[in-house]
Structure 1
Amino acid sequence: MQYLDKRRQFLTLGMMLLLQRDQIKEKRIKYQKILKLSIFRLKDQITS
């Protein structure tokens, strides 16, 4: 019984880590898009 509990804890921990990793990946992509947009705006301001 104790073995199953340990295994369940380990699995839930692994799932949480995977979810966090996915969220971080999504945030990173979002920030990259925002950065690209702001860089384009800066270039427009400089050229105009």
Structure 2
Amino acid sequence: HLTEEKPGNLVNEAARQIALGDLIVINKTDLVQREELEILKTAV
């Protein structure tokens, strides 16, 4: 959801929450491959 494009003036809520957050929690990391987790960490 982080890179999802929203139509018109709609805001990507996931990106907004990350931008305004003081603490970012990435949970359920045991369910993804290490490479996918690293891509997510880089994006965040």
Point out the structure with max Rg over C-alpha.
1
> What is the TM-score when the length of structure 2 is the normalising length?
0.27
> What is the TM-score when the length of structure 1 is the normalising length?
0.25
Instruction: Considering fraction of residues, name the structure with more helix.
Output: 1
